[in-house]
Structure 1
Amino acid sequence: MKFLLKFVLFCGGLVVLLGAGAVITPNLTKNQGSELALAIDNVNPAVKTEAVYAETTVKPIRHYIGGGGEHEYVYEMQTYNQRGEARKLHFESQWVLKPHHYLKITTKGQNVETWEAVDKADVPSGVRQNLLMS
């Protein structure tokens, strides 16, 4: 009986610990471009997918040739979500982005799932204000 009680307490403690970790880690990985931050956000069920917006005013921070011989460009951008919350993202592209265009980026934490160019009119007005000030 004591073994069963210890086992139940251990499992309960483990669930509480994992739950607390799932809630705390999104704050620790925010604005981090490391592989560890990307991996944690990818498997964390507490991290939700959301759309953020950026203006292409930056040059790539890195350029390299990929495994298939293609050009890869790494960007670091300040982005804003619908609520105006800022986040710095790192992502790769096989193209040099044209300056002064707008991107809608679908993310799960620090992971960029998709991105697409959008018209200025498609960017929420509050987000446009933040992009102009940054």
Structure 2
Amino acid sequence: MSVNKEGRVMKKSQSLFLVLFLALGGLFFGSPLLTKNRTSNAAMVMDLLNPFVKNSTVYIKTTNEFISTYKSQGSDEENYVYETNSFTEKGNNRTLKYISFEKKLTPNKFLKVTTKGQDVRRWEEIEKSEVPEKALKKLEEK
């Protein structure tokens, strides 16, 4: 009789493990669908921590419109927070939030941005000629 109880406990444990495994798998694989084009800190952190979200490159044309500013700790310099549309080399649109530390960006410049989902890893100013054709076409339409 105790063998039967142990067997049921083992089956319940295996079922619970399978459910948890599938739930975590669904979270990791499904979270990019939930976080895409979301500019919240939670979306950025989820993508940063998700091992299945890969780095990608998008392109941005700067504007003088920032959404907020804040001072750096230990400095009186302002940081500028921007939220804008970006485009992949294939011309696919993505909304991103990024920060320019201690300087306001010059409008109508082009940025090459490396992201991990919604988390902006780094960006650099590039020449217009370095922007892929399909991304440039979309950026020029804005």
Using the TM superposition, give the Cα deviation of residue 46 of structure 1 relative to its aligned residue in structure 2, in angstroms. 2.2
Q: Which runs of 5+ in 1 are unaligned?
A: none
Percent sequence identity is 36
Using the TM superposition, give the Cα deviation of residue 64 of structure 1 relative to its aligned residue in structure 2, in angstroms. 2.0
Larger CA deviation: 99-108 vs 5-14: 5-14
Using the TM superposition, give the Cα deviation of residue 85 of structure 1 relative to its aligned residue in structure 2, in angstroms. 1.4
State yes or no: 1:128 paired with 2:127: no
Using the TM superposition, give the Cα deviation of residue 57 of structure 1 relative to its aligned residue in structure 2, in angstroms. 2.4
Letter in 1 for 2:129: A
The answer for the alignment partner of 1:4 in structure 2 is 10
State the alpha-carbon separation in 1 of the partners of residues 92 and 13 from structure 2: 42
Runs of 4+ in 1 over 3 A off after TM superposition: none
State yes or no: 1:65 paired with 2:103: no
2:34 match: secondary structure: helix
TM-score (norm 1): 0.93
Give 1:44's match in structure 2, choosing from 34, 43, 50: 50
Q: Which has the larger radius of gyration?
A: 2
Letter in 1 for 2:115: T
The answer for the alignment partner of 2:4 in structure 1 is none
RMSD over aligned Cα, in angstroms?
A: 1.2
The answer for the alignment partner of 1:98 in structure 2 is 106
What per-residue deviation string (whole Å, max 9, x for no partner) do you get for residues 63-92 of structure 1?
221212221100111101122211111111
Q: What number of residue pairs does the alignment pair up?
A: 134
TM-score (norm 2): 0.88
